[in-house]
Amino acid sequence: MKFFVDTADTKEIRALAETGLLDGVTTNPTLIAKSGRNMLDVIAEICDVVPGPVSAEVAATEFAAIMREAAVLRRIARNVTIKVPLTPDGLRACKALTSDGAMVNVTLCFSAAQALLAAKAGATFVSPFVGRLDDIGHIGMELIGEIVPIFRNYPNLKTEVLVASVRSPLHVIDAARLGAHVATLPPAVLRGLFNHPLTEKGLAQFLADWAKTGQHIAEAQPAAAR
């Protein structure tokens, strides 16, 4: 399963990229607004740090305008993924863009029927929003449980299910159980995946026992050299 980070905070992205576990980045207009920076500068900086797909969302809603914005965004870097809304114009743009070799992430997906349309439009990724479904009393993860098997029925569909609006490590585990290709995680959720109290406790014990030996591995000499 691929891990993307869902943020436009380049400091966070740099730190998480150092873990070597980051496969891509997603942004949206809300996250760009939160960064307080120029969108093109932010996307260019992210694309420099992360070689994988970096989603940059269009703000236009009408086909010709989406295509104009996509042209600007595609010029930033080769790993820019154009993010379009799941609307008739968005899907028309998706088809045109993917036919022209661009990567496209279709966002704001809330039903299996919508996901199927995105796949038919040739989307590279479709983003079902699980957290926002949970927010209104639906079990968001059930949508992933519908979409993944539907896509598996049609091996010629290359669209990857990108689980978005992720709120907790549990969402990530459930998405992986269901076979989603990608999850995009807020930085705090991604960091949270590392944590387990028994890991911390076990490490503290190992370090305390090791200190008693008085040994230092980095300065140690093999028997032959002693």
* Residues making contact with ligand G3P (CB under 6 A): 6, 26, 28, 129, 131-132, 164-165, 184
Residue number with the shortest CB distance to ligand G3P?
165
Residue 44 beta carbon to ligand G3P: minimum distance, rounded to whole angstroms: 19
Nearest to ligand G3P of 98, 184 (CB atom): 184
For residues 61 and 222, which CB has a smaller minimum distance to ligand G3P in the complex?
Answer: 61
| Residue found under tokens 């009408």 | 62
Choice between 95 and 132, CB closer to ligand G3P: 132
Least distance between ligand G3P and beta carbon 15 (Å) = 19
**Smallest distance from ligand G3P to CB 127, Å:** 6
The smaller minimum CB distance to ligand G3P, of residues 102 and 126, is found at 126
Rg value, the chain, Cα: 21
Closest contact distance (angstroms) between CB of 71 and ligand G3P is 22
83 catalytically annotated? yes
Catalytic residue among 34, 83, 120, 158: 83
Which residues contact residue 149 at a Cβ distance below 8 angstroms, ignoring those fewer than 6 apart? none
Catalytic residues, which ones?
83
